[in-house]
Chains A and B, each alone.
Chain A
């Protein structure tokens, strides 16, 4: 029997979607994704209500989702990250039930354990054959890795593949295999290539960012971890990328050959692979065009699932092999807890993604951030939201000093011996407040709009609504 179905609406009907069920989506098409909106529009037109949406991440291109929430089509969200537009609506209290935030590793674990069962998974596939064998490496909407969609395909009751490049023959090495797939729908376009991969992963030119980045590279060198076999992940922020560039220079100069680079892969990690800094790249998501081209052409650049990336259930989770991860923060408190969920006014504008997973797994997890942004100090007494617990954060690098988690006294000694400007985090906070002034505490609402679930499934924190000001 053919799996090919004429329309998304027909596939939804055939999959047996009913009120109260759960649908899922993955986010490799990022802000260029058309699939989530197209599917939700058809679901709404069928009059189905009270759905749970389990999306690995949500971007502002998905703002129509807010309309479906207001109309009762969607009543619960499970996600790992939301961008600022969606986050603002959540913070203003658009949903009755709190949003459940997970990490990139916790999501597939809870799907596999049956804690968050999926009735119908919708997989946006840049290329698929009529059996639903998918790859993200080919097609006009190519996005590279499809890592976050593996668990959805494997565990959902029904799987619908939606593609804009229906191939006559199966892809050479499919990411998602047809054995999991129930229906295949061909559409004109699954996304806007300009939004799928950002051209924005650029090294910072901001002098403050460059000072932090140079300092970050010195910390890694002084940590004793930078030797043959070194494994590394960095974020796509400008200062993190600059740190990777300085690190690359050190590795090439000293002839250090690392084992793997992990992530969210950008062109800078691809350059490090090509320069011989790593044996391989393990890629759960491509951030830019160079990464997409590389995963297609270079066999050392390997696609991995979210489970292999970071699941606490996976016995080979790649995050556990990391030596160093460089991460960002909107706030960090004097207990080293980090917030990446809300801005300093309490509005949701992010999420863990792989932040907590990598911080938990890596031997050295480093936060790189300026001491203040737009007059707001980065170091606080207590973060607005605990995204990653302080026990998993080892060091904070800023432009004016380096603070080491007191639990890492050996690391502190190494950095002091290397002549780096180490100071207590309280001192860093006090110095910053002498420049910025002490900010007044913001008012928060009384209603919980989101819960933050950690890598091990524990409730780390809750997020309150932001009252009208």
Chain B
């Protein structure tokens, strides 16, 4: 999937995550800010990259502001942001 425009999903409520995505050439960049960065920072990045790979995203800058979201929430927020950015609702 190609990222065509900027998009976002989620909130900064406790236990949620706010995810933004924008086009970025051919690279994938994932930035994570989190209230549980020490405990789960690596897990959050791994999970986000998995979702991007599953959706076949090439070229995206993803920024996650995590407020202690469970992995299922992060996956959902990342997928929603990417689908909104891709202009592909299929």
A positions within 8 Å CB-CB of B: 344-345, 373-376, 435-437, 439-440, 442-443, 469
Contact = CB atoms under 8 A, between A and B. Distances in A.
21 contacts: A344-B36, A344-B39, A345-B38, A374-B15, A374-B35, A374-B67, A374-B68, A375-B39, A375-B68, A376-B36, A376-B39, A437-B43, A437-B71, A439-B39, A439-B40, A440-B38, A440-B39, A440-B40, A442-B38, A443-B38, A469-B38
| Interface class of chain A by DSSP | loop
Interface string B68-83: 1111000000000000
Query: Can you list the 5 inter-chain pairs with the closest CB atoms, starting with the nearest?
Result: A374-B68, A439-B39, A375-B68, A442-B38, A440-B39
A148 B42 CA distance: 46
Contacts of B42: 440
Nearest to A373: B68
Nearest to B67: A374
Interface string B26-51: 00000000011111101100000000
Given A374-B14, A374-B15, A375-B15, A436 B38 contact: no
A400 to B, nearest CB: 14
A345 B40 CA distance: 12
Interface string B1-32: 00000000000001100000000000000000
Contacts of B37: 469
A345 B41 CA distance: 13
Contacts of A440: 38-40, 42
Contacts of B70: 375, 435-436
A391 to B, nearest CB: 28
A442 to B, nearest CB: 5
Nearest to A377: B39
A331 to B, nearest CB: 12
A437 B43 CA distance: 9
Interface in B55-90: 67-71
Nearest to A374: B68
Nearest to B71: A437
B69 A375 contact: yes
A12 B16 CA distance: 51
Contacts of B69: 375
Contacts of B39: 344, 375-376, 439-440, 442
A99 B39 CA distance: 27
Given A374-B14, A374-B15, A440-B40, 19 more contacts: A344-B36, A345-B38, A373-B68, A374-B35, A374-B36, A374-B67, A374-B68, A375-B15, A375-B36, A375-B39, A376-B36, A437-B40, A437-B43, A439-B36, A439-B39, A439-B40, A440-B42, A442-B38, A442-B39
A376 B67 CA distance: 11
A373 B39 CA distance: 13
